[in-house]
Structure 1
Amino acid sequence: METKYIFVTGGVVSSLGKGIVAASLACLLEARGYRVTIQKFDPYYNVDPGTLNPYEHGECYVTEDGQETDLDLGHYERFTNMRTSRANNVTSGRIFQSVIDKERRGDYLGKTVQIIPHITDEIKRDIKILGETGQYDYVITEIGGTVGDIESLPFLESVRQLRWELGRDSVTVHLTYVPYLHAAKELKTKPTQHSVKQLQQLGIQPDILVLRTEKDVPAQMRVKIAQFCNVASDAVIQSMDCQSIYDVPLMLHSQHLDEIVMRLTGQTVKGEPDLTRWRSFLDRLHNASREVKIGLVGKYVELQDAYKSISEALVHAATYNDLKLNLTYIHSEQLDDNNAEQLLSGMDGVIIAPGFGQRGIEGKFSALKWLREHDIPTLGICLGMQCMVIEYARNVLGLQQANSTE
C-alpha cells in the first residue's frame, strides 16, 4: 500500500498529550498489522534538545543512533515495537540550519531564500523522508506547540501543502481542550471552536477531533462540536483522564479511532486489533498486590518529566515482576547527612539520577554514603554513577578532595 500520513496538531493549551494520542494510535494500527512510525516536529530553534535545561522541556531522550531528541520519542517506543532515530525528531533549528547551509553552498542558485518555498520544502522533505523508504504503511507526524504559536506557522503551512499534495493519503487529527468550569458546573466547547477556526484559517481542515477532558463530554455536546467544526460526528472523540497512560489506546479504540483513520485513508476495516499482550500488561499493571518502594534522588524532581524514561522503566520493570511501583522523588538539594536516614529508610532500592553541574551534588553524596553503609541496592545513572565513584573515593579510600576528576 501507498504510505499514509497522519498529522497530529494541538490547540488551546500545551501538554494535552499529543504524544500519548499519537503513540496510542500507532499502537492500535500496529496491532492491526500495519507498519507504523512516528516523528515529532518541534518549533523551537535549538538544533536539538540536548543542551536544554530539563525545566524547559523535560528529559532528553537518546535514540539508537545516538541522537538527542524530545521525550515524546520515549513514549513512541514504549507504545510500539518501533525504534526511533535522528529522522524521528526535527526542530526548527535543524530545519533553518540545513537551509542556511544550502544557501551558503549555493544550492539555491542565488534565489532569495524565504519561508515559502525554501523552509516549507525542507520541512516537507523531512516529513516524507521516512515514508519514502518503503518501510512504513503509516507515518504519524506530531507537530509540537499549539495552533496560534508564531513559531509553529511554517510547520502548519507545510502540513497544509502536503494535505493538498497527498489527498486521501493523509489525515489530520486535532487535539483540543474542553475545560470544566466548577463554578458554573459546565463543560465549555468555545475554546475548541476557536482552536479549530484558527486551524481552518491556516488552510487545514481537521478530519478527527480528540477532546482532552476531565469530565465526560455528552454525545449531544460532541454533535454540537462536530457541526461547528465541519467534522463528522463520529470523528469527535474524547480523551478523558485514565488510571494510566497505557489505558489510552483501549479508550481510543473503544471510540473507533483506528477504524476512522483506516476508512479515511481508504483501508478496509476487518476484525479487531490484536491487543492480547497489551491487555495482559494492563492486567498485571492494575492488579499487582505486592509493592516495591523505590526512591529517586535528583535535583529536577519538581518536574517529573525530567526523569520520564527512568520512571516509566521502573513501571515496566515492576509490572513484569507483578509488583506495584511506589516511586518517591527526593530532592537532592534538600538532602544531607542529617536527614538522609529519614528520607531514605524503608526503600527497597534507590536510583541516583543524572543531572548537570554542581547544584544538588552534595545531597547525592550524602544519600550514597547512607545507602552504602546500610546496604541498600543503589543504581547510579550517568552523573549518578560518577557520584558513586566520588563518594567511595572520599569516604572509603580517604581521598577527601575527590571530585569529578576521579
Structure 2
Amino acid sequence: MLNKLDDFPIHQTPEPIAHPATSDRNVYDRTWFNGYAADGSYYFGIGMAIYPHRGILDCAFSTVRPGERQHCFYGSRRAPMERTDMQVGPFRIEVIEPMKRARIVLEDNDSGIACCLTFSARTAAIQEARQTLWTGARRTMDATRFDQFGRWSGWVKTPDGEFKVHETLCHGVKDRSWGVRGVGERESGGAPRTPGGICFLWAPLFWEDHITHAIFFDGQEGEALVREGIVAPLYASEAEVPGVEDGKDRRMATARHRVKYVPGTRLASSAEIDLVDIDGTVRTIQLEPILKFQMKGLGYGHPEWGQGMWKGEFATGHESFDPHQLNPLEPWHLHTQQVVRASDGIRTGIGVLEQIVAGPYAPGGFTEFFDGAKG
C-alpha cells in the first residue's frame, strides 16, 4: 500500500504513509480554507478530508453574499491509496508550493456552482497547541492544526451570479489539521452516555501588520479545556513569507472571551476577546459580526452530507438555502462562522468568529441541549 509520498524521508512509523499510526476509525486528515471580502460582501468556505479507516475522501465548497442564498456543493468518493490525489469529481485542490500557494478548482457541474481560486500566504505556518478532549476515559479528539493567513484571487460562480475575487480585498485562512475527532455516522452499541455541553470559539483576525488568533474549548460550566492566544507577523507579499515557520509567533499566557447572543439563538451578536500577555498586559478586542455563514455548507453536522459519511463509490450533491429562514436552534444550524470587524481601541481589523455551543453552557445561560439566549 505504497504511494508517492513514500519516496520522501518523512515516515514516523515503520509503516507506509497510507497506514495511520492509530487504528481509531475516526482518524482524519483535513485541508480547510475560508475567504471573505473585507467589506463583508461575500464569504466562501472550502474543505476536503480523507478518513483512511472509513475509506472515504470528501469535499465541499460553499459561499454566501448578503441578501442572497447560501450555495453549497458536496462531493464524496472511495478514498484513494494515493494521498496526493486530492480530487473528487469536478472538485480538486492543487498544492502549487507547500505553505505558500494553493489553487482550488470546482469545474462546471449540475449544481451551478463553480470556482477557480488561488490562495497566497501572508504568514508563516502557525501551529496551534495540540487539542485533546476526553469523554470519560476515551480520547474523543486528539488533533494537531496549523494555520496560515493569506489573500485570494480568482472567481466564483453561483446560480445567483458570478463575482470576482481580488487579492487586494479578499482575506482568508488556510487550516490544516489531522488526528482523531468525531466524524461520520455515529457509533452504535454499548452503554448509553449522556452528552455534555461544550463551547468552541475560533477567532483568526487580520490587522495592518500582524495577525491575532484565539482558540477556545469550554466545558459546560465554562471551565477552560483549551485556551490559546497568538500574535504573529503579517508579511506584505507571498515572496517575503518563510517556507515553513519563522519563529516569530508570540504565544500569550492565556486568552479569555465574553459573548453576547442574539435572543432566542446561540449566535453571537457581539464578542470580546482578551489576549493576556506573559507580563500580564491585556489587549481587549471587540468583535462586530457583519455576515453569517452556516458551517453545514461544508458538511459540519449536516444530516445528509456530514463529514466522513459513506455516500457510495462516488457521489455529488448540492443545495441552496436562505440563512435567515433557518431555525437557528436545530442541531445542524448551531455551527457558524461570522465575518467580523475588530477593534482594540487603537487599531481596526477584519476576521472571522467561528462558534458552536451545544448542550448546557452556564456562561451563556443555556440549561437545555438546544435552548436559546434569553431576551
TM-score under structure 1 length normalisation: 0.26
Q: Which has the higher helix share?
A: 1
Larger Rg: 1
Q: Which has the higher strand share?
A: 2
